[in-house]
Amino acid sequence: MAQQAYVTETADGGSQDEHRGNRLRRTAHRFLDRWRDDPRIWRRGIVLAVFAVVLSLGMALHAHIPNRIGNLGSLTETFLPWAGLFVPVLLILALLRRSATALIAVLLPAATWLHLFGGLLTDKAGTGGDLTVATHNVNADNPDPVGTARDVAAAGADVLALEELKASAVPVYRQALAPTYKYHAVKGTVGLWSKYPISSVQAVDIRLGWTRALRATVITPQAPVAVYVAHMPSVRVKMNAGFTAQQRDQSADALGEAIADERLPRVVLLGDLNGTMNDRSLNAVTSQMRSTQGAVGNGFGFSWPASFPLARIDQIMVRGVEPVSSWTLPRTSSDHLPVAARVKLSPSTQDDS
């Protein structure tokens, strides 16, 4: 009896699976029949198809969107990865409209987005490296600077940059970070903490009238490294003026000039640039340095706003240094996420003096 019940149960299960499979096949056949028998599938959805083509062209030719009107080009490039959200929306609408034309057109923005950003979806992190660096905009109005300092110090970075330091909070950060970092330097609203000796500290003029950038030499066991810490001016999106970023752009040009004049072969830039690697207005900096996130990150590494990150505006960039891995750190009391990277200080034939 037990064996008979088992056979019956198995047969019933198979019958149910077969019935379910038949039902799915019938549904699919009905769906396909409606498309095949509909003479309008190529005429419907023309507007959707046009939108898909425009979306694809906008992503592919973003560098040609002019900045003359409200810095539209830079605004588009700041949030360019999010253009991919339109692809599934267009796909659903094309299916609902039963439009073969729109379905085929949707392939264009899908392929364009994958070409631009598909590489960021894989984990490219390596192992090893000589130096771990981190940067964090701590927010001038941070309600818990001690907790923020403790959190970023726990990440284990050898070199840590902090931006948006309020003068009254600097002693708090100094005291909180002292057990982890023996050396530090502060210029204006930016600071550098290091486990290794620091020398040649100087403010970097980024054409603001006050100090929001510094340059220092960190003497690591492998080689000296020129470390820049910078906080570019904020940008705003205004209804009457568009993407207002002129001051940020001028500061980026000045920072780019300073980095171009750097004599040490190994350079690391840490900071809040208030712009993404896609933004052409940061070209003075990005054209001569390599983003650790783009090279060895896992995902987009969005860092702002911390509550729902939309863009990677906190950057770690290198020159003459090999990035190994890059990641975002857990949220602190700031409105930015800290970001970190591990790099390898490769031997250089240039003069390290």
Report how far residue 193's alpha carbon sits from residue 178's, in angstroms, rounded to the nearest whole number: 9
Long-range pairs, 239-244, Cβ under 8 A, ≥24: 241/70, 242/69, 242/70, 242/71, 242/72, 242/75, 243/70, 243/71, 243/72, 243/74, 243/75, 243/78, 244/71
List CB contacts of 294: < 8 A, sequence separation 6 or more.
120, 277
Report how far residue 101's alpha carbon sits from residue 87's, in angstroms, rounded to the nearest whole number: 15
pTM: 0.86
Local structure of 185: helix, strand or coil: strand
Q: Domain segments of the chain: what residues? A: 2-120, 124-344
- Superfamily of domain 124-344, CATH level 4: Endonuclease/exonuclease/phosphatase (3.60.10.10)
Instruction: Going residue by residue through the chain, which has 353 residues, state the pLDDT in tens, using 9 for 90 and above.
Output: 444 444 444 444 556 667 776 777 776 666 665 666 677 888 889 999 999 999 999 999 999 999 887 788 988 999 999 999 999 999 999 998 889 999 999 999 999 999 999 988 888 888 889 999 999 999 999 999 999 999 999 999 999 999 999 999 999 999 999 999 999 999 999 999 999 999 999 999 999 999 999 999 999 999 999 999 999 998 876 545 456 678 999 999 999 999 999 999 999 999 999 999 999 999 999 999 999 998 899 899 999 999 999 999 999 999 999 999 999 999 999 999 999 999 999 765 444 54
Query: Pairing relation of β-strands 267-272 and 224-231?
Result: parallel
Distance from the Cα of residue 2 to its chain's centroid: 61
**Given this model, what pLDDT does residue 125 score?**
86
**Given this model, what pLDDT does residue 35 score?**
63
Query: Pairing relation of β-strands 236-238 and 242-244?
Result: antiparallel
Report how far residue 274's alpha carbon sits from residue 82's, in angstroms, rounded to the nearest whole number: 17
**Given this model, what pLDDT does residue 137 score?**
98
User: Any idea what DSSP says for residue 65?
Assistant: S
Report how far residue 129's alpha carbon sits from residue 224's, in angstroms, rounded to the nearest whole number: 15
What single letter denotes the amino acid at residue 26?
A: R
What single letter denotes the amino acid at residue 275?
A: G
Cβ atoms of 208 and 247 closer than 8 Å: yes
User: Any idea what DSSP says for residue 331?
Assistant: P
List CB contacts of 193: < 8 A, sequence separation 6 or more.
159, 160, 161, 162, 177, 180, 181, 183, 184
Cβ atoms of 200 and 106 closer than 8 Å: no
Cβ atoms of 148 and 336 closer than 8 Å: no
